[in-house]
Amino acid sequence: MSLDSLTAAIDRFFRSYFSHCVTPDEDTLLNLLNALHGLNDKLQKDVGRNLFASTISSHSKPSEISFITTSS
């Protein structure tokens, strides 16, 4: 796992997010979406996670869907 490249992708995402929040326009939105896509690529490669993957299958019936709960 390349922690430095993952950290750089996270940093880029938050810098782009901040920039878009401060002065939103088409360019900052495009930069934010590119940063999000790049972060997702790094997560898939380094950690095996996909930000855009659904945890619920589209073929699941409502009775088959289990919800994750946390206990205190």
65 found inside a domain: no
Mean pLDDT of 35-61: 79
Residue 25 within a domain: yes
Q: For position 56, what pLDDT does the model report?
A: 56
CA distances from 53 to 5, 27, 36, 42, 63 (A): 22, 26, 14, 14, 21
Mean of the per-residue pLDDT values of the chain: 81
Q: Is residue 37 part of a domain?
A: yes
Given a contact cutoff of 8 angstroms between Cβ atoms, the answer to whether 48 and 36 are in contact is: no
Least Cα distance to 15 among 2, 1, 28 occurs for 28
Of 17-21, 30-34, 59-63, the least confident: 59-63
Domain that holds residue 14: 3-50
14 touches 6 (CB < 8 A) = no
Q: Which two tokens stand for residue 14?
A: 């938050």
pTM (two decimals): 0.68
**Based on the structure, what is the number of domains in the chain?**
1
Using the structure block, give the residue that is written with the tokens 């997560």: 43
Q: Is the pLDDT of residue 26 over 70?
A: yes
